[in-house]
Structure 1
Amino acid sequence: MGTSAVTVVKILAMLILLQSALFCCSGANFNGSCIKIEREALVKFKASLAIDNDCCRWERVICENITGHVVKLDLSRASFQGKVSLHLGNLSSLQYLDLSANNELAIDSLHFASSLKYLNMEGVLLDKCDNWLQSINMLPSLLELFLSNCQLSITGHVSHVNLTSLEVLYLRGNNFNSTIPSWLFNVPNLQHLYLSYSSFRGSLSTEICNLNSLAFLDLSYNSLEGNIPKTLNKLCNLSELHLESNKFSGEISGPFGNSSSCIQNSLQYLYLLNNSFSGSLPNNLGQFKCLKFLLLSHNSFWGPIPVSIGQLYNLEILDFSQNSLHGKVSELHLLKIRGLSELIMSGNSLVFDIDLKWVPPFQLSSIDLSSCKLGPWFPQWLKTQKCIAYLLMSNASISDSIPDWFENISSNIIGLDLSYNQIFGTLPKLRKLNTSYDAYYRFILLKSNMFEGSLTHFHSDASILDISSNLLRGQIPQKTSKIMPRLRLLSLSSNNLNGTIPASLCRIESLDILHLSKNLLPGRIPSCWGNLQRLTVIDLSSNILNGRVPMSLGSQQFLISQHLQNNNLQGQIPISLRNLEYLETLDLSMNAFNGFMPSWIGESLSSLKVLSVHSNKFQGEIPQQLCYLASLRILNLANNMMTGTIPTCFGNFTAIAMPENKGLWDYYPRVPFEEDGYSENVLVYVKGIEREYTSTLRFLYSIDLSGNKFAGNIPKELMTLSGLQNLNLSENKLGGHIPWNIGKLKSLESLDLSKNDLFGSIPSSISNLNFLSYMNLSFNHLSGRIPFGNQLQTLDDKSIYIGNNGLRGFPLNNCSGDELPRGAEKVGNTRKHDFEMLWFYSGLGMGFVAGFVGVCSILYFKDSWRYACFQLVDRVYNKLW
């Protein structure tokens, strides 16, 4: 047997034995060594085997017919493990080596025969292989190289590139974290270059033009920036260009605006989406006659769309969405695009000026014209489109009814979005989805229109149905579960629906989100919710529901948001809600709940972010266990009959004290298409006005305890909540001083302490609240000078201090000598006076303390006196602070 055959035997034997040992001896859950008696049996068995010494007959080994040399090793997905040094230099005729998809194999050194033409090591760990580039550079015959997802980095360099035959290079999915190395631009015959997802940064070199054989270039999903070099237009063979998801900027007229550039004769696929490109679109885009895909979305392009686009007769996908384009779009822009299948122009200010009788030359499968002006009439040219799978025309200024012919083109529509228009009449009739689309989830979004009538036209195969904010009336069909068994989301909120909530909703086991708020639904909440184990959101707020909350509403294992506010619900909060361990929002406000606030809320609902129970009939003290809610951001106990003091442990609200993770409070159904879902919403009384927070809710941190009977001092620990924006303690019986450290509430925007029994001066640190735009301290017993400085000077409404007869200074005009000084001299005198008074009281205080300590030190050794002394010190400290 020759040297090469012996080498193959050794390599394969090593790998096979390694794999066998790992499989036989390790076991799935066994970490010990092989049992002795079993090992001896295996050794004897191995010795008795007759191994074929002809390696050319081995599986995955191919030899050259005449010479017998090994030319191919195909070891894809062989489940090799371990760390090896790869030395295949002795296989002098090896041309093909594939070790890809061995994701648990690590190689620390490479050495190949110079005859190698194909090398695939995708997924093999090469992070310890510092010489990978130098080893590869010794392969002048190499045609195709695949080193994707190998955790490579740029180490070392090569002074001369020997890869003169290389045509295909895959380096995607590595962690280079550098500029694109210059040696890449010196590979003369390179045709396919894949560098995506590799953390490349910096600009794209003008030397890119050296790769004049290049047909495919993928630089997507990196951090490349700056302009695209003009020299790109010299790549006369380039067919596909991927630059998406980088930081490129500037105009694209340089590489794509030159009418004499040869790239326009070859380019078929152009991906520039998700960058920072700006400027107008080149007028000569129509000269790129080979273009099939033109994707420019999510940039900052402005101006009109060139009419020359209509000359791209090979175009299949046109995506200009999410830019700043404006102007008219007419039939001329789409004149000759016969093969167009996807037209995407949403998120621009385009006005479609299409003749009502126009017949398009194409058949579209996907149309997204949201936020463009298509109306006032429903687009008549859609009548000719028989293959539409996705029709998205939300916020398109349509003020019309759905035409009768729409039903004829509806059997292929998987996704329909006509939201935020002024469409009137009855709900559209949609035919059952074509059987070829059975695996898809159909979504129908018709919210915020003017649809009237009853819910007769339900769509049996809809997974997402949103008809909220319309003028619908009547009842929800009692057989909803049979009519729409595939529902994931049902939103009928903000209509005029009446009748009881049908119990059949509880039988739609796939239901994720149920949104029925702001209707006229009466009666009791059904007690059948135990079947809905997928339920994420239930919102029954703002109806006329009554009775008690059923225990079954606590049986949804994955419930995140529960809204029952603004109804006529009674009784106590059911203890079954303690099972909702993932609950983030619990809103029971504006009902007639009574009893004590349950302590289990703090003990069991550890994920809670919003707790709103305002405007009920709760009594008793705030349970200390509420302080366990470290994720809490919004607490509203206002307008109840609660008593006691404010717990000092409110300072434990970590999410408010360290407001870092804002999060996204939008919940989507668990389907592949998440075009629409449920945006969390909460009503909060802020700055003297009741506001509804939806998209901005994640930025709000609020505590509202107003309208109760809380007494005692305002805890100074409350002032450690540096992220708190709204604090409302008004209309209670709170006494004592405003905490001296109130200035630590550095994010505070709204402060209401009115209608309490607070006394003493307003702490000067309140002037440190730089974001304070609303304050109400009225109807207390405050006295002394109103602090001056910073944001306080913008709060010039006298009513915020009314009912405090002892206050003086700006903006009150009750004592001219003590008004806010306007000249520099008065400011200086006032500061001097304050400084002198400060020294006077400081000296007086120090003298008192010195004398006091002296007396206490004499009496210290008498136990009863010592105990009384420290009790007195503690009372004095609490009284002062």
Structure 2
Amino acid sequence: MGTSAVTVVEILAILVLLQTALFCCSGANFNGSCIKIEREALVKFKTSLSINSSDSLPSWEGDDCCRWEGVTCENTTGHVVKLDLSWASVQGKVSLHLGNLSNLLYLDLSSNNGLAIDSLHFPSSLKYLNLRSVLLDKCDNWLQSINMLPFLLESDLSSCGLSITGHVSHVNLTSLEVLTLSWNNFNSTIPNWLFNITNLQHLDLSYSAFRGSLSTEMGNLNSLAFLDLSYNSLVGKIPKTLNKLCNLSELHLESNKFSGEISGPFGNSSSCIQNSLENLYLFNNSFSGSLPNNLGQFKCLKYLLLSRNSFCGPIPVSIGQLYNLDVLDFSHNSLQGNVSELHFLKLRGLTKLIMSGNSLVFDIDPKWVPPFQLSNIDLSSCKLGPWFPQWLKTQKSIAFLHMSNASISDSVPGWFENISSNVVGLDLSYNQVFGNLPNLREFNTSSEAGIPDPMAISRYILLKSNKFDASFTHYHSEASILDISNNLLHGQIPHNISKVMPNLRFLSLSNNYLNGTIPTSLCGLESLEILHLSKNHLSGRIPSCWGNLKYLSVIDLSNNMLSGHVPMSLGSQKFLVSLHLQNNNLQGNILMSLRQLESLETLDLSMNAFDGFIPSWIGESLSLLKVLNVHSNKFEGEIPLQLCSLASLQILNLANNMMTGTIPTCFGGFTAIVMHENRGLWDYQVSYNPYVYSEEDSYGENIQAYVKGIELEYTSTIRFLYSIDLSGNNFFGEIPKELMNLSGLQNLNLSRNELDGHIPWNIGKLKSLESLDLSKNDLYGSIPPSISDLNFLSQLNLSFNHLSGRIPLGNQLQTLDDRSIYIGNNGLCGFPLNNCSEDVDELPKGHEKVGNTSKDDSDVLWFYSGLGMGFVAGFVGVCSVLYFKDSWRYACFQLVDRVYDKLWITVAIKANQLKGKLHRNKFEVNA
């Protein structure tokens, strides 16, 4: 026994000596610090980087690399096994050669947005690799490098700028369990080599521009528990083989282009996927057909999100069996039929019920007590009425309640106040709710309420388009968004509004019966961004305290009875994008202070009593203007040429003023109209409101435009309108042919002016024109044949001019058969007027056109001009004979001066007479 023990001790001693000798021979020299060659590899890696000012690697000094930040060594051998530089702010473009870290197991360089790697070479020992947000766009060998890691368990290459998936003949990633390739730009089909990684449990390919159909081989990934293919461009049906994924608990297919029915993978009662699936995200696709009847057998389901598809038919009653369900979202489909208590029978865990945008009818017993307590309810566009749903009074945790367009014709019940203390968002818009405005209790900020602190000071209340007929006396002190527009409110805006609702950022009281003045306390709402008070009976002056409001983006005071001048303080709003003051009794000049509104996109001052000139600085300072509307005022003078600099202008309306001069030729260069551009936004929301999930909390831009012979209001379609209206002024001269370059122009109204000359021959270039009004001017000559090229023209008015000749035929012009289009032009003939005689040409014979006159009249004009010049020349010749006699010379040239003046006056009169005769002759010949 003793001998054996000695032998064992000797053997152990020899082994220790051998191990020590081995380390010595290898040059590792591990003496409690890191191995030299590995330290040198790390130093080489660091020197290739540029560290920013917040130097995150200050500890990388000294010989012991095991003590450096982000470096972990194995306790016994000293080998570097982990390199973790997450969020280290390292920058630079390097080649990643870490082969000398032969025992490295964990490498994390993620979230270093300034780091780029152009070549990858990893130690084969690697098990965990995270390069998220590291730029790898130059690494064509990334797949081959990854494929040489047989022990790799997890890899994250998301947001790496990868654009090719690559190809490998043999997949060596037999151990890989987690693979994330999201947020890249592959622009290819999903590669087949992925389906050979049979140990995969987590696969994320979202946001990576994958296209094509989903292979049936996806069913080979038997170990998958998480699959995310969302936000790509995948098409076709979901393969039935997905129902073989017996371990799949979370499936993301949302925001693709999938179509067809889903009964294949989810409608088979014997498929094993129904025993594992917990989260199913199919929203924002093109799925159709009815919902599978066996959805109730997916007992593990917690999240079922099928919104924004084309599902039709009823909701299966089996949904009511999903007792683990937390979120149910069927919104924005074509579902129909009745919804009863059976659909919610066992949904005791449900917290979010979202069914808006369908044609569902809720047939619920008023005495029904639901098994759940909901925090989010969105039943907009479902039929809940006519009464306010009684089952709501059992819900004590409602944070968001959306029931817009729900066929409710009732007053808000008294018990509603009892359930309102947690309500962050309330939307009852587009119903027939009447009576008093709803009372909302102050927020319950106790921890049991579960409302985060930021939400405890802000709520939105949307009550527009109802029949609330009370005075505006209900105050909601926490409200940041309040919309009670299009109701029957009366009385005045509270004079202490800034004190009772200090958090307001969006206030819309438009289209009511409010009277009195605009209270100056509005200027105390320092966070106010959108103010909409149009279509009321407000009177008095506009307050002059706007300098206190620093964040206003929209001011709409239109369609009231406001008077006086525009206050200078309005010019202090540097973020203002939309200013509507139309249809009031305002007067005075356009203030110079408004030139500071450099963000302005819409300026509507129409239907007031403004006077003076259109200032030139509008074109110089308000360079972002898309809408300039000043019609029906008292403006005079000429159009400033600076307006031609408004590259974003889509709508220009100067109609019904007293302006004069010619139409600038540079109007033909309005970039947005020429290029059919539609820049920027036309709906304006508050700048930051993360808790609103309603699409109805914005101010929609609007404009009144006289188009196609009638006045129309453009709201959501304003972005598609390109219009110029100069009618009802004193503009003279010819219509600039340059206007015909505005190929995107839809409405052109130049009527009721003093324009003369011909209609531009190239008017057919206005390919988008739908409405053209040139009536009540002094235009003459023929109608250009190219007018028949206007294929979208649906309204035309050329009446009361001096036009003559044959009306062109063909295309869209033949559908305009109203004779009044051409009335007042006695020289016109052809459809829809009287037939033309066979010898009628564009101009009567013998009146060939020379410039803007006919040849015979031009000859007469030249005759008179030559007669005058000849007389003067001859007279001077006679006088030259008498030149040397002073008295004769003086008398002679005095006579020449008088005769010369009288002669040119006669010539000028004759020229004007001949011009008028030209028009008369045309009419007489045609007659």
Of the structure 1 ranges 265-274 and 437-446, higher mean CA displacement relative to structure 2 is found in 437-446
Q: Which residue of 1 aligns with 2:334?
A: 324
CA contact (8 A) 1:687 1:750 kept: yes
Give the SS at the match of 2:218.
helix
| Cα shift at 1:7 | 2.9
Q: Which residue of 2 aligns with 1:793?
A: 814
Structure-1 separation of matches of 2:599 and 2:789: 38
Number of matched pairs: 823
Q: Which residue of 1 aligns with 2:5?
A: none
Structure-2 separation of matches of 1:842 and 1:465: 66
1:451 alignment partner, one of 455, 462, 468: 468
Q: Does 1:500 align with 2:534?
A: no
2:617 alignment partner, one of 600, 617, 637: 600
Q: Which residue of 1 aligns with 2:883?
A: none
**Structure-to-structure mapping, 1:269-348, within 5 angstroms:** 269-348=279-358
Structure-2 separation of matches of 1:476 and 1:212: 66
Q: Which residue of 2 aligns with 1:205?
A: 215
Give the SS at the match of 2:44.
helix
Q: Does 1:697 align with 2:718?
A: yes
1:353 alignment partner, one of 353, 356, 363: 363
Q: Does 1:724 align with 2:745?
A: yes
Give the SS at the match of 2:469.
strand
CA contact (8 A) 1:686 1:726 kept: yes
Change in 2 beyond 3 A, CA 1:538/1:417: same
Q: Does 1:439 align with 2:454?
A: yes
Return the letter of the residue paired with 1:56.
C
Give the SS at the match of 1:291.
coil
1:266 alignment partner, one of 255, 276, 296: 276
**Structure-to-structure mapping, 1:571-582, within 5 angstroms:** 571-582=588-599
Of the structure 1 ranges 206-215 and 708-717, higher mean CA displacement relative to structure 2 is found in 708-717
Structure-1 separation of matches of 2:846 and 2:452: 84
Structure-1 separation of matches of 2:151 and 2:452: 48
Q: Which residue of 2 aligns with 1:133?
A: 143
2:676 alignment partner, one of 659, 670, 676: 659
Structure-2 separation of matches of 1:732 and 1:842: 25
Q: Which residue of 2 aligns with 1:218?
A: 228
1:628 alignment partner, one of 641, 645, 655: 645
Of the structure 1 ranges 301-310 and 59-68, higher mean CA displacement relative to structure 2 is found in 59-68
| Cα shift at 1:188 | 1.5
Give per-residue Cα distances to partners, 1:156-182, cap 9 Å, x unaligned: 422211111111111111221111111
Structure-2 separation of matches of 1:292 and 1:301: 20
Of the structure 1 ranges 458-467 and 596-605, higher mean CA displacement relative to structure 2 is found in 596-605
Q: Does 1:410 align with 2:420?
A: yes
Change in 2 beyond 3 A, CA 1:624/1:54: closer
Structure-2 separation of matches of 1:655 and 1:110: 48
Q: Does 1:714 align with 2:735?
A: yes
Return the letter of the residue paired with 1:350.
L
Q: Which residue of 1 aligns with 2:686?
A: 669
Structure-2 separation of matches of 1:166 and 1:472: 65
Return the letter of the residue paired with 1:658.
M
Structure-2 separation of matches of 1:668 and 1:394: 19
Q: Does 1:530 align with 2:535?
A: no
Q: Which residue of 1 aligns with 2:505?
A: 488
Structure-2 separation of matches of 1:514 and 1:113: 63
Choose 1 or 2 for highest CA Rg: 2
| Cα shift at 1:663 | 4.5
| Cα shift at 1:817 | 4.8
2:434 alignment partner, one of 424, 439, 460: 424
1:639 alignment partner, one of 656, 662, 672: 656
Q: Does 1:770 align with 2:780?
A: no
Identity of aligned residues (%): 75
Change in 2 beyond 3 A, CA 1:232/1:737: same
Return the letter of the residue paired with 2:728.
G
Of the structure 1 ranges 153-162 and 480-489, higher mean CA displacement relative to structure 2 is found in 153-162
Change in 2 beyond 3 A, CA 1:378/1:155: closer
Q: Which residue of 2 aligns with 1:5?
A: 35
| Cα shift at 1:84 | 2.5
Q: Does 1:588 align with 2:605?
A: yes
Give the SS at the match of 2:382.
coil
| Cα shift at 1:52 | 5.1
Q: Which residue of 1 aligns with 2:769?
A: 748
| Cα shift at 1:56 | 3.4
Give the SS at the match of 1:453.
coil
Unaligned runs of 5+ in 1: 28-45, 819-829, 856-864, 866-874
Structure-1 separation of matches of 2:783 and 2:851: 22
Give per-residue Cα distances to partners, 1:324-372, cap 9 Å, x unaligned: 1111111111111110011111111111111111111000100111111
CA contact (8 A) 1:18 1:81 kept: no
Give the SS at the match of 2:246.
coil
Q: Does 1:172 align with 2:182?
A: yes
Structure-1 separation of matches of 2:73 and 2:502: 60
CA RMSD for the aligned pairs?
2.9
Change in 2 beyond 3 A, CA 1:667/1:54: closer
Give the SS at the match of 1:501.
coil
Q: Which residue of 2 aligns with 1:860?
A: none
**Structure-to-structure mapping, 1:117-196, within 5 angstroms:** 117-154=127-164, 156-196=166-206
Give per-residue Cα distances to partners, 1:688-734, cap 9 Å, x unaligned: 11100000001001111111111111111111111111111111111
Q: Which residue of 2 aligns with 1:466?
A: 483
Structure-2 separation of matches of 1:592 and 1:467: 30
Q: Does 1:609 align with 2:626?
A: yes
Give the SS at the match of 1:157.
coil
Q: Which residue of 2 aligns with 1:377?
A: 387
Q: Which residue of 2 aligns with 1:391?
A: 401
Change in 2 beyond 3 A, CA 1:277/1:844: closer
| Cα shift at 1:82 | 2.1
Structure-1 separation of matches of 2:767 and 2:128: 63
| Cα shift at 1:235 | 0.2
CA contact (8 A) 1:662 1:699 kept: no
Q: Which residue of 1 aligns with 2:577?
A: 560
Change in 2 beyond 3 A, CA 1:22/1:283: closer
Structure-2 separation of matches of 1:625 and 1:90: 69
| Cα shift at 1:438 | 4.0
Give the SS at the match of 1:625.
helix
CA contact (8 A) 1:130 1:155 kept: no
Structure-2 separation of matches of 1:841 and 1:517: 58
Structure-2 separation of matches of 1:835 and 1:465: 63
Give the SS at the match of 2:757.
coil
Q: Does 1:550 align with 2:560?
A: no
Of the structure 1 ranges 427-436 and 198-207, higher mean CA displacement relative to structure 2 is found in 427-436
